[in-house]
Amino acid sequence: HLVPEVSTRYPYTVFNERVFLMHDVILYDFGVKRSIIDSLVQRGCAVTVVPQNTPAEEVLKRNPSGVVLSNGPGDPAVLGEIADQVKALMGKAPILGICLGHQILGLAVGAKTIKLPFGHHGVNHPVQDVATQKVEISSHNHGFAVAEETLPKSVRATHRSLYDGTLEGMSDPGENWFSVQFHPEAAPGPHDSLHIFDQFFRMMAEKNPHRRDG
């Protein structure tokens, strides 16, 4: 259970005063990479980073445009309490999960996680968008994955690894969330998947059409 060791202990907010602020985002820190925060700030988000054990009720009181679940270390199977809080957020605000955040979303919908016989590490992993068949080169750093066959029917697979077929992305449009197992914010690259943040931004805009409208 490594997440408490790397998560922030106190909330803090990051924004760029030179960028017009469009959305207030709550980001759960499970070991977040600064490049995730930067990717959101560059798109006009004020990002409030909160500790890993922040209750859903407290997040909803802030009335965020969206919620991001960050990457982080360790076995996701021990994060049941966090998954319960995430479940309470589903349908209340748009959610984007990245890496460990993707796995926590899987747990929240009742899926199981597995330990991969060979973890995915490095910057040249091909993943395929299920809908478009487009292949993107992506950055990975994970030894666990969501078992696709355990997903409920409402959740659809959006990306798969072309190495071993591992589930690399999923979504539930009815509950307004989606996630990716890889790192779209990879720094210094590859940058094939930066559009994931644009997709999240559009989701927040559709849900909150009058936020920060001047």
Residues designated catalytic: 99, 183, 185
At residue 149, φ and ψ (nearest 5 deg) are: -70, -10
Taking the C-alpha atoms of residue 128 and residue 130, their distance in angstroms, rounded to an integer, is 6
Of 119, 12, 108, which Cα lies nearest the Cα of 69? 108
At residue 175, φ and ψ (nearest 5 deg) are: -105, 0
The answer to whether 104 and 87 have CB atoms below 8 angstroms apart is no
Characterize 62-86 residue by residue with b for buried, 16 or more Cβ atoms within 10 angstroms of its Cβ, and e for exposed: eebbbbbbbbbbbebeebeebbebb
Please state, as a whole number, how many other Cβ atoms lie within 10 Å of the Cβ of residue 178: 24
Residue 159 tokens, joined? 């990306």
Spell out the residues 6+ positions from residue 136 whose beta carbon is closer than 8 angstroms to its own: 126, 127, 128, 129, 190, 192, 193
